[in-house]
């Protein structure tokens, strides 16, 4: 009886998604550690002892507290690291939500970097140009926040409209709009008067929002995590994740969005306005990515490097792994976003404390994304193992058919929905 309870727990879609994600994370960490080890062994100036230090930091960098007098690594509660982790998690949770929401509606929002930039630009422009001597700072904050959200939404709606009315693949439209945004933002700030000219050595940066006295309140979080950048933004991000969860799972609108994602034509047959829903889904996704930019730069201690025309913000792209790791579940995104920024902190510690550098954590993230591209295979493998166990119990177990979703995904061609299986509850 007890075994049955366990197997029904293992059968749940959510459990399997979490398992698949955990396996991806473990393989990603193993791959990163392997690279660290190989580099350490083949490079005499690093050596195996430093390699071991590197692996420990890469895995548990969040709890690193530096080195003791003897030069050995020490671990413990590090309030700065944890606070900074929460601060950095804020934008990735939101871009992750952006990508996840699009996935749920059958769209691949690779346009998050562009939407993030659009949001950033609008936010900074509003926060820095409305004088706080006339308008109270908190009103400016709210205006800037919603301005960023709106700009992101507009920028996301463009590929949505191209997809809905002209049937242009949203991946291509998003890539193009990303670069257009990067150039437009550079252009906007190039001709603006917001460049930081007061501090020398800050060429290429826009003023911090504190220049105009606008900053996200800390709400006492700085007392819990002293010496860190944490602010109320993380709470806003978590709140938004919960709102997205409610919209997607508890409202008719969310149901319509998901129906369009599963099969646009069937949804239309059922009387759902598929074009309107595609545009709305992309606008919402864009709004979330725009909010990421807004919250990150409204913190008051972050600076925006405005000549972005050659590079797109990594935060936007990191939304993709965050969403994939969470199997596009809005609540899961909170955790995978925090995990992603934990890796980020580990990367910084790696640069500070060892012969390695922060880019190894990006490699780990890339491996995780690569694995999640065939998460379906991993899940099927998990299924296969379970089926084997079942077959061992019942001698004549009927063969389960291959999940129909695999085929449906091929045929729809409308977009990418790696979580289709999860939809089929």
Partner 1 sequence: MTFLIRQTLIYAVPLMIVALAGVFAERSGIINLALEGIMIFGAFAGVLFVRLVQQWGIFDAARASGDWVTLQGFMLLSMGVAALLGALFSLLLAFAAINLKADQTIGGTALNLMAPALVLFFIRIIANQNTLQMATGDSASWFMLKKKMLGVSGNMGFFGETFLNKVYIATYICIIIYIVLAIILYKTRFGLRLRSCGENPQASNSLGINVIKMRYSGVAISGALAGMGGFVYAMTTANCTSNGDVAGFGFLALAVMIFGNWKPLNIAGAALLFGLFKCVAASYSTLDINGDGVYFLKEIGINTNFYRLLPYLITIIVLAFTSKSSRAPKAEGIPFDKGKR
Residues 13-72, interacting with partner 1 (CB under 8 A): 35, 39, 43
Residues 298-327 that bind partner 1 (CB under 8 A): 309-312, 317, 320-321, 324
Q: Which stretch binds partner 1 (CB under 8 A): 9-17, 121-129, 269-277, 374-382?
A: 374-382
Q: How far apart are CA 93 and CA 334, in angstroms?
A: 6
Cite the DSSP H helix spans in 61-169. Answer: 79-104, 112-129, 137-166
Q: Which is nearer to partner 1, 183 or 249 (CB)?
A: 183
Query: Which residue in 222, 303, 362, 383 binds partner 1 (CB under 8 A)?
Result: 362
Return the SS3 of 62: helix
Site for partner 1 in 80-139 (CB under 8 A): 108, 110
Rule CB under 8 A: say whether 381 interacts with partner 1.
no
Q: What angle do CA 228, 231, 237 make, to 5 degrees?
A: 125
Contact with partner 1 (CB under 8 A) among 256, 416, 421, 422:
416
CB of 116 to partner 1, least distance (A): 16
Q: Which CB sits closer to partner 1, 52 or 309? A: 309
- Please pick, from the candidates 367, 379, 414, 421, the single residue that binds partner 1 as defined by CB under 8 A: 367
Here's the x/- map for partner 1, 186-225, by CB under 8 A: it reads as xx--xx----------------------------------
Pick the binder of partner 1 from 171, 232, 247, 382 (CB under 8 A).
Answer: 171
Q: Which two tokens stand for residue 309?
A: 């025309």
Q: Which of 197, 377, 389, 393 binds partner 1 (CB under 8 A)?
A: 377
CA distance linking residue 204 with residue 306, whole number of Å: 6
Q: Of 199-207, 230-238, 390-398, 410-418, which part binds partner 1 (CB under 8 A)?
A: 410-418
Per-position DSSP letters for 196-233, written without gaps between them: --SSTT-TTBBPPGGGGT-----TTHHHHSTTS---TH
Task: Reduce the DSSP state of residue 413 to 3 states and report it.
Answer: coil
First to last CA, the chain: 24
Query: Tokens 């990418």 map to which residue?
Result: 416
Q: In angstroms, give the least distance from the CB of 11 to partner 1.
A: 24
Residue 184 found at the interface with partner 1 (CB under 8 A): yes
206 within 8 A of 323, measured Cβ to Cβ = no
Q: How far is the CB of 168 from partner 1 (least distance, A)?
A: 5
Work out how close the CB of 40 gets to partner 1 at its nearest, in angstroms, rounded to a whole number.
10
Residues 178 and 340: their CA atoms lie apart, in Å, by 22
Are the C-beta atoms of 262 and 270 separated by less than 8 Å?
A: no
> Tokens at residue 378, please?
């991993």
384 C-beta neighbours (distance < 10 Å), count = 11
- The rounded distance, in Å, linking the Cα atoms of 98 and 87 is 18
Residue span 254-293 as binding mask against partner 1, x where in contact by CB under 8 A, dash where not: ----------------------------------------
Q: Degrees (nearest 5) of the Cα angle 20, 86, 217?
A: 145
Residues that bind partner 1 (CB under 8 A): 35, 39, 43, 108, 110, 162, 166-168, 171-173, 175-180, 183-184, 186-187, 190-191, 309-312, 317, 320-321, 324, 355-357, 359-360, 362-363, 365-367, 369-370, 372-374, 376-377, 406-407, 410, 413, 416, 418
């Amino acid at each position: 009886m007890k075994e049955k309870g366990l197997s029904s727990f293992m059968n749940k879609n959510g459990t399997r998604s979490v398992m698949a994600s955990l396996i991806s994370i473990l393989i990603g960490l193993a791959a990163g550690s392997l690279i660290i080890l190989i580099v350490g062994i083949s490079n005499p100036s690093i050596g195996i002892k430093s390699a071991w230090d590197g692996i420990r930091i890469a895995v548990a960098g969040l709890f690193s507290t530096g080195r003791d007098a003897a030069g050995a690594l020490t671990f413990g509660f590090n309030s700065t690291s944890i606070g900074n982790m929460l601060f950095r998690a804020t934008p990735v949770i939101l871009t992750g939500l952006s990508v996840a929401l699009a996935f749920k509606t059958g769209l691949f929002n690779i346009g998050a970097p562009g939407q993030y930039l659009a949001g950033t630009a609008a936010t900074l422009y509003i926060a820095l140009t409305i004088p706080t001597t006339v308008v109270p700072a908190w009103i400016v904050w709210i205006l800037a926040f919603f301005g960023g959200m709106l700009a992101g939404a507009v920028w996301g709606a463009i590929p949505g409209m191209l997809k809905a009315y002209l049937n242009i693949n949203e991946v291509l439209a998003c890539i193009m709009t990303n670069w257009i945004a990067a150039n437009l933002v550079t252009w906007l700030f190039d001709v603006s008067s917001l460049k930081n000219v007061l501090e020398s050595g800050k060429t290429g940066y826009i003023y911090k929002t504190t220049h105009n006295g606008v900053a996200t309140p800390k709400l006492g979080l700085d007392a819990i995590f002293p010496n860190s950048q944490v602010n109320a933004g993380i709470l806003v991000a978590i709140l938004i994740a919960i709102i997205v969860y409610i919209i997607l799972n508890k409202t008719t609108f969310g149901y319509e969005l998901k129906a369009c994602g599963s099969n646009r034509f069937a949804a239309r047959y059922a009387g759902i306005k598929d074009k309107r829903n595609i545009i709305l889904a992309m606008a919402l996704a864009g709004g979330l990515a725009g909010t990421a930019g807004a919250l990150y730069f409204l913190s008051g201690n972050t600076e925006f490097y405005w000549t972005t025309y050659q590079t797109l913000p990594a935060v936007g792209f990191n939304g993709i792994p965050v969403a994939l790791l969470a199997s596009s579940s809005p609540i899961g995104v909170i955790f995978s976003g925090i995990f992603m920024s934990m890796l980020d902190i580990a990367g910084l510690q790696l640069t500070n404390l060892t012969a390695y550098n922060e880019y190894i954590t990006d490699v780990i993230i890339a491996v995780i994304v690569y694995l999640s591209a065939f998460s379906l295979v991993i899940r099927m493998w998990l299924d296969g193992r379970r089926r084997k166990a079942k077959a061992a119990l019942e001698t004549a177990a009927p063969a389960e058919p291959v999940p129909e979703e695999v085929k449906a995904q091929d045929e729809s061609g409308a977009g990418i929905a790696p979580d289709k299986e999860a939809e089929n509850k």
